[in-house]
Structure 1
Amino acid sequence: MDPLTLGLLVALCTIVVLFSGVSVALGLLIVSAGFLMIFDGMRSLELIPEILFGKLDNFALLSIPMFIIMGASIASTRAGADLYEALERWLTRVPGGLVISNLGACALFAAMSGSSPATCAAIGKMGIPEMRKRGYPDGVAAGSIAAGGTLGILIPPSVTMIVYGIATETSIGRLFLAGVFPGLLLVALFMAWSLFYTWRYGDRKLLTTTTYSWAEKFEILPRVVPFLLIILGVLYAMYGGVATPSETAAVGALLCLLIAMVIYKLWNPRDLWIVLRDSTKESVMILFIIAAAGVFSYMLSSLFITQSIAAWIGTLDVNPWVLMLAVNLFLLVAGFFLPPVAVILMAAPILLPIITTAGFDPIWFAVILTINMEIGLISPPVGLNLYVINGIAPDISLKTILMGSLPFVACMVIAIVLLCVFPQIATWLPNAVMGTRM
C-alpha cells in the first residue's frame, strides 16, 4: 500500500479508536501494534516493550513530575486566593480592575503551577463570585477565568513545552524562554479587551467604591512574594548555568512544598499525601502517553509514513504561509477533541520536518502550537477549562461560559497573527539569552 494512503488509514483508525473512549495512551498502543502486526509482521511486536521503556529513559523527563509537584503544592494552599486578593487591592480603582486582577492572578499563578485546570480552580473560586457580586455579567466573569487559566501551558515553567522539547529533541530552556513574551502578549490582549468592555458596556456598578490603605496593600504581599521569588530563582538557576532544567525543577518542587508548609501550615500528613498522590497520578498519565507516543512514532517511521508525508509536502508548490494556515487549522481542530499533551506527542514528530522544510523556526512553532492548544482548552466538546469553571459555578451554563470566552479566543487568534508577522516576539529572548542557533 502507498505510504500516503496508509498514513490516511492510520489517521482514520486513530480517530475511531480515540473516540471509542479508550485512554489516549492505550489507544495509541492499540493502533501502533495493529498496524505493525499487519504490515511489518509479528516479529515487530517484540520491539514494542523496548521502545516503550526506552522512550522513558530520558533524564529530562524528571522535570515533568517535579514541576507537577511544584504546581500541586501551590494549588493545595490559599496562594491563589492571596494572589487574587493582592492584585485586587492594588488595582481596585482601575476601570475593569476586577477582571484585570483576575487575569493578572491567572498569569502569575500559571507561572507558579504550570497547570491550566489548577489555575482556573484556584483563581475562579475567589474571582468569579466577587465579579458577579460587583455586577459583571456571568459570561465575562466565567470567560475571563477560563481564558486566563489557559496561560498555564504557555508561561514557563510549562509541562507542555517540556513534552514538545522531548518529542522534537528541542532545547527545553529555549522553549521556556520563547513562551515568556507571547505569554505577556496574551495577558496584555486579554486585559485590553477587559478595559474596552468596561468602557463600552460598563456602568457605575462595575467600578468598585472599595478603597484600601497603603498598609492594607502591603500587608498581603509577604504571602505571595516567596512564591514569585521561587519562580525567578528557578529561571535564574536554569539560565544562569547553575543547574539543568530537571535539577532546577526538583529544587523548585522542594522549596514550594516547604513554603506551603511554613506559610500555609500544610503540616497535616494527609494533606501532603494528597499533593503527592495527585501529582503521581498526573505524572504517570503524562509519562504513559509519552511512552505510547514513542511507539506510535516508531510505527509511522517504520512504515515510511512520516518520511513520505514530509517528502510529499516538499514537492508541493504552495506558499509556506498557506501551509502554515493549514497546519494551524489542523491543530485547532485536533485541540477541540484531544488534550494538549496528546496532540503534541502525536503531531509534533510529523509536523516538525514539514515546518522546518518550509523554513519555519521550530522554537517559534512551539509557541504557535501551544496557543492553538490554549484555544482547544476553552472550546467544546472537550474544552477542559469550561468544565472546571462549570464545576466552580454550576449555575452558569456551559453556553454562557463559552460565549464569555469567545472574545479571548479572538485575542489568541490575534496573538497568532502577530507572532506570524513578528516572529521575534518568540525568538528574540531565547537568542539573546542562549545565543543564536546555528
Structure 2
Amino acid sequence: MISGPLMALVLLALLIGLLALGLWVALALLVTALVAMAAFSNAPVGLVLATTLWGSGHNYALTALPLFILMGEILLRSRLADDMFEGLAPWLSRAPGRLLHVNVLGCAIFAAVSGSSAATAATIGRMSVPELTRRGYPESLVIGTLAGSATLGLLIPPSIILIVYGVATEQSIARLFIAGVLPGLLLVSLFSAFVALRSWADPGLIPADSGPRMSFAAKLRASRRLMPVAGLILAVIGSIYTGIASPTDAAALGVVFALLLAKVTGEFSRRMALDALLAATRTSAMIAFILAGAAVLSVAMGFTGLPRNLAAWIAGLGLSQYALLAALTLFFVVLGCFLDGISVVVLTTSIIMPMVTAVGIDPLWFGIYLVLVVEMSQITPPVGFNLFVIQGLTGLNMLRIARAALPFFFLLLLAVGLITLFPQIVTYLPNAMGG
C-alpha cells in the first residue's frame, strides 16, 4: 500500500500539472479527486460525485457569499470613493504623511463594505493615485500604500475569503468575521505607522499642505457623506456580533442599505444595477464552482485515508507549532505567487487541516493566519492580483510596482509574527462573543 506522504506527492504533482496545462481550478480539483478515489480507494465514484456536488451547493452558510459580493459591486459603482477622499482628507492633511493615510484608511473602509482585495485596489486607486500624484506625493509611497492596504479587503469583515474558509473547514463564519476585526485594525496601525515614520525620517519626501486650515465644524461638514457608509458597516458587523442576524441575514441587510445609499447619490442607474448583478453572478458562480471541486477532493481524501495518514506522519516528526507554521508560511507564499487567494484556500485545506489539528493549532486562529499569508501573496509577482490591478490603473512596470509594495509585504509578515506570539489578538473577540 502506498504511504501517505508518497500519495500526497503524487496527487500534488497531478494537481500542479493540470493547473500548469491551463485547466480551470475547479476542473483540476475534480480530476485529482476522481484519480485519488479510483487509484487509491474502493469508493463508489459516481455516487460520491453526485452526492457531494449536490451537498456542496445546498449549504445555507454559502448564501452569504453572493450577497456580500453584490453589496460590494453596488458600492463600487456608487460615489463612495469620491466621498471617502473628500471626507477623510480634511482630517489627515496635518498628520505625518498627510494624504497618504487616505489610501490606508480608505482601503480599510472600502474593505469593510466590499470583502474583495481587487475591488478595493481598483476603487480607491482610481480615485487616489491621480490626486496624490498631482499633489506631488512620491510614486513609491502612493503605489506601495495602495497595494499593501488593498489587501485588507481579504481580512476585514465581511471577507469573501473568510466565508470560503468557513465553508471549506466547517468553521463559524460569524466567529471568523469577528476574529478578523482586531488583526485588521493591527494592519491599519502598522501601515499608518510606516507612513508616519517615513515622513519623519525624510521630511522633504512629503509635499507641504498648501490648503487652508479648516475648523472642526468644517471638517465635520466635509465628512458628512461618510456617515451613511459608517452606518452600513456598523449595521452589518454589529448585527453579526450581537447575534441579531446571521452572516446571511446581515449580507441581505447590507445589499438593501447599499442600494439605498447608491440611489441617494443620484448617479446609480438601472444599467449600473444590472452590471453589478451580472458581475456578482459571475464571481459567485466561479467561487461556487471551485468550492464544489474542493468539496469532492475533500471527500476523496477521506476515502483514501490521506488526511489521517498525514496527521500521523506529522505527529511522528515531532514538529512544534512554530516549526510547522514557519514551513506553512513559506509554502503558502510560494503557492500564492501562482494562484489567487481563494484557490489557495480551497486547494490546501483538505490536506493541511489534519496537520494543523495534529499539533494543536486552533482552526479559527489558523483561518486568520491563512488569510494574512494569502494577503502577502497578493503583492508578490508573478500572480499578485493587487499588482495587476494597479498596473492596469497606472501602466507602470510590474517590478516597479512590486518594489514599491515590498515594505508592506514585510509589515504583513510582522503581523503574522505578532498574531503567532499573541494569539489573543485573533481569539479575544470571538471568545467574548460566545457561541
- Same fold (TM > 0.5): yes
Q: 1:245 aligned to 2:247?
A: yes
User: Which deviations, in whole Å up to 9, do the C-alpha atoms of 1:182-223 show, x marking residues without a partner?
Assistant: 101011111111111112234175222213533542333332
1:12, distance to aligned residue in structure 2 (A): 0.8
Tell me which residue corresponds to 2:260: 258
Counterpart CA distance in 2 for 1:216 and 1:69 is 34
Counterpart CA distance in 1 for 2:130 and 2:46 is 54
1:116, distance to aligned residue in structure 2 (A): 0.7
Letter paired with 1:232: L
Higher deviation after alignment, 405-414 or 26-35: 26-35
Q: 1:392 aligned to 2:393?
A: yes
**3-state SS, counterpart of residue 383 of structure 2:** coil
User: Which deviations, in whole Å up to 9, do the C-alpha atoms of 1:391-417 show, x marking residues without a partner?
Assistant: 1111x2211111110101111111111
1:263, distance to aligned residue in structure 2 (A): 2.5
Counterpart CA distance in 2 for 1:257 and 1:212 is 35
1:220 aligns with one of 209, 219, 222: 222
What TM-score comes out, normalization by structure 1 length? 0.95
Higher deviation after alignment, 299-308 or 369-378: 299-308
Tell me which residue corresponds to 2:25: 24
Counterpart CA distance in 2 for 1:117 and 1:220 is 28
Tell me which residue corresponds to 2:3: 2
User: Which deviations, in whole Å up to 9, do the C-alpha atoms of 1:234-287 show, x marking residues without a partner?
Assistant: 122212222211111111112111211122431x22111000000000010111
Letter paired with 2:433: V
Q: Against the structure 1 CA distance between its residues 205 and 291, is the aligned structure 2 distance closer, same or farther, given a 3 Å change threshold?
A: closer
Q: 1:324 aligned to 2:325?
A: yes
User: Which deviations, in whole Å up to 9, do the C-alpha atoms of 1:108-140 show, x marking residues without a partner?
Assistant: 111111111111111111211222223222221
Q: Against the structure 1 CA distance between its residues 8 and 223, is the aligned structure 2 distance closer, same or farther, given a 3 Å change threshold?
A: same
Tell me which residue corresponds to 1:229: 231
State the superposition RMSD in angstroms.
1.6
CA contact (8 A) 2:87 2:224 kept: no
CA contact (8 A) 2:72 2:113 kept: yes
Q: Counterparts in 2 of 1:137-286, with a 5 A limit?
A: 137-203=138-204, 206-211=207-212, 213-214=214-215, 216-266=218-268, 268-286=269-287
Q: 1:70 aligned to 2:68?
A: no
Q: 1:427 aligned to 2:427?
A: yes
Counterpart CA distance in 1 for 2:61 and 2:21 is 32
Counterpart CA distance in 2 for 1:2 and 1:433 is 43
Counterpart CA distance in 2 for 1:212 and 1:384 is 39
Letter paired with 2:249: E
Counterpart CA distance in 1 for 2:364 and 2:207 is 41
Tell me which residue corresponds to 1:369: 370
CA contact (8 A) 2:87 2:225 kept: no
Higher deviation after alignment, 21-30 or 152-161: 21-30
**3-state SS, counterpart of residue 243 of structure 1:** coil
Q: 1:357 aligned to 2:358?
A: yes
Counterpart CA distance in 2 for 1:168 and 1:324 is 18
Letter paired with 2:139: D
**3-state SS, counterpart of residue 203 of structure 1:** helix
Tell me which residue corresponds to 1:36: 37
Q: 1:95 aligned to 2:80?
A: no
Counterpart CA distance in 2 for 1:307 and 1:81 is 52
CA contact (8 A) 2:377 2:384 kept: yes
Q: 1:405 aligned to 2:408?
A: no
User: Which deviations, in whole Å up to 9, do the C-alpha atoms of 1:30-72 show, x marking residues without a partner?
Assistant: 2222333334469413421221121121101000000001111
Letter paired with 1:181: L
Counterpart CA distance in 1 for 2:13 and 2:212 is 59
What TM-score comes out, normalization by structure 2 length? 0.96
Counterpart CA distance in 1 for 2:254 and 2:154 is 18
Counterpart CA distance in 2 for 1:338 and 1:211 is 47
**3-state SS, counterpart of residue 137 of structure 2:** coil
**3-state SS, counterpart of residue 211 of structure 2:** coil
Counterpart CA distance in 1 for 2:222 and 2:78 is 15
CA contact (8 A) 2:333 2:376 kept: yes
CA contact (8 A) 2:294 2:346 kept: yes
Tell me which residue corresponds to 2:305: 304
After TM superposition, what 4+ stretches of structure 1 lie above 6 angstroms from structure 2? none
CA contact (8 A) 1:36 1:45 kept: no
Counterpart CA distance in 2 for 1:212 and 1:30 is 63
**3-state SS, counterpart of residue 386 of structure 1:** helix
Letter paired with 2:14: C
CA contact (8 A) 2:199 2:206 kept: no
**3-state SS, counterpart of residue 337 of structure 2:** helix
CA contact (8 A) 2:182 2:426 kept: yes
Counterpart CA distance in 2 for 1:293 and 1:100 is 39
Counterpart CA distance in 2 for 1:73 and 1:384 is 21
CA contact (8 A) 1:356 1:362 kept: yes
1:308, distance to aligned residue in structure 2 (A): 0.9
Counterpart CA distance in 1 for 2:119 and 2:126 is 11
CA contact (8 A) 2:117 2:152 kept: yes
Tell me which residue corresponds to 1:111: 112
Q: Against the structure 1 CA distance between its residues 42 and 365, is the aligned structure 2 distance closer, same or farther, given a 3 Å change threshold?
A: closer
Letter paired with 1:263: T
Counterpart CA distance in 1 for 2:35 and 2:218 is 63
Counterpart CA distance in 1 for 2:377 and 2:186 is 19
Higher deviation after alignment, 34-43 or 163-172: 34-43
Identify unmatched segments of 5+ residues in structure 2. Answer: none
